[in-house]
Amino acid sequence: MPLPQSDALCFFGATGDLAYKQIFPALQSMVKHGKLTVPVIGVAKSGWTLEQLINRAKASVTEHGGLDPDAFPRLVALLQYIDGDYASPDTFTQLREKLGAAKNPTHYLAIPPSLFPVVIESLGKSGAAEGARVIVEKPFGRDLNSAIRLNRTLHAVFDESAIFRIDHFLGKEPVQNLLYFRFANSFLEPIWNREHVVSIQITLAENFGVQGRGAFYEETGAIRDVIQNHLLQIAALLTMEAPNPQYRDSQREEKADVLNAIRPLSPDLVVRGQFRGYHNEPGVAPDSTVETFAAVKLWVENWRWAGVPIYLRSGKMLPATTNQVIVRLKRPPLSVFGETDLGLPNYVRFRLAPDVKIAIGARSKRDGEAMVGENVELVAVHNAGDDMPPYERLLGDAMRGDPSLFARQDTVEACWRIVDPILGDATPVYPYDPGTWGPEEQNRLMDHGDAWWNPPSENGRVGVPA
């Protein structure tokens, strides 16, 4: 049964960094587009007043997208504030009072996961969880066991249908376009399987380091930070079966099915790297073996994808900040024109960042008498990128009760099951120079005839094998 429209939004961590960078700009945009007309209650322990929170919100929207002279005053009119300790029952008594007649509030936990249990328990004891839903930020645990414990904490107060696990990556327009392009067009389906696909590569690269967050990154690493969630989600969108439009939760069902079909990773299917200079970052241990780069090879053990390797790669201090998918297709069965050096003749490329590009690699004849060709790209989509900020989309969906873009318990646990065997120091960590595409050892993951294809250069051309 669908959840009713939420009639209040309460967000914990109202004075924090996430609220400043993402939440306040999203709330202003929601007000602007008529998606937010209910009370907004911020909760934090900072010794602030409502006036100080409003000033913080004003600075936030000014820096991140610009202050809207019409929407911002309307947001301020909705805004309330509770300054209180999350461990104090009085904080939640105040919350219950401010909720007033609201029957279906949304509680958004934009706070560290270590605080989830105390807030969840207090929401239940105070009665503020009655008829409510809760949004929790990733990470959803640090491994499979901790994810299971977190889910037990959530389920002690909220039903699974009222739990919205938010990963902003799933709300990005380019990620949504990938799913749409796959299932809104019929020409891909006949070739989207093991009979025609050689391999799939997904690269998410950043050209910067840990940006002063060394202590945080020491507890995370590239596998937990990116592989376990973002890249596995992209892999699921690329390999899942078509969802049933008559069934509200079908998209998440299909994701769960394909993630459960992925074989858990073993040490021989992962290469970890660390950029030279990482040890000099504040908060990083001098002997740290935390990976800033990871490359893995997945196998989906189902009828459609059996035998097709899926390569995931992500790292910091790489040559570019970008996100690209290459679906490599098999060559024609016979070289009719006697050509041998074809490079990568046929592929489908999804570039998800910094701009959006969907292209198909093909061969076209060069001008002249000889039957000699060249590789070209047929560009289907090319635009500047995101129109709707992901937090606006996701907060709006949660308040409407639409769970489609949120992680479900079984998919969270499926993702942890895949990476659990390679967490920590299960494999060596290899050094690499900043500005390169990671350690050379990643090449050993490649099957015969495959090679890493780097994201395109600034001129838009597909990169060359690493």
Q: List, by residue number, the catalytic residues.
A: 230
CA 327 to CA 346: how far, in whole Å?
9
Q: At what angle do helices 250-260 and 232-239 cross, to 10 degrees?
A: 110
Query: Which residues have CB under 8 Å from 68's CB, separation 6+?
Result: 28, 32, 61
CA 313 to CA 205: how far, in whole Å?
8
**CB-CB contact of 126 with 89 (8 Å):** yes
**Six token digits for residue 36:** 């937010």
CA 418 to CA 219: how far, in whole Å?
19
What are the φ and ψ backbone dihedral angles of 26, each rounded to 5 degrees? -65, -40
- Long-range contacts made by residues 394-397, C-beta under 8 angstroms, separation at least 24? 394/164, 394/166, 394/168, 394/170, 394/171, 395/9, 395/23, 395/26, 395/27, 395/30, 395/108, 395/135, 396/30, 396/35, 396/36, 397/164, 397/171
Peptide bond into 333 cis (omega under 30): no
**Six token digits for residue 174:** 């380019």
CA 270 to CA 220: how far, in whole Å?
17
**CB-CB contact of 443 with 466 (8 Å):** yes
**Six token digits for residue 416:** 């942890």
**Six token digits for residue 298:** 């997945």
Eight-state DSSP code of residue 163:
E
What are the φ and ψ backbone dihedral angles of 225, each rounded to 5 degrees? -75, -35
> Up-side HSE of residue 201: CA atoms within 13 Å toward CB?
28
**How do strand 79-83 and strand 373-383 relate by DSSP bridges?**
unpaired
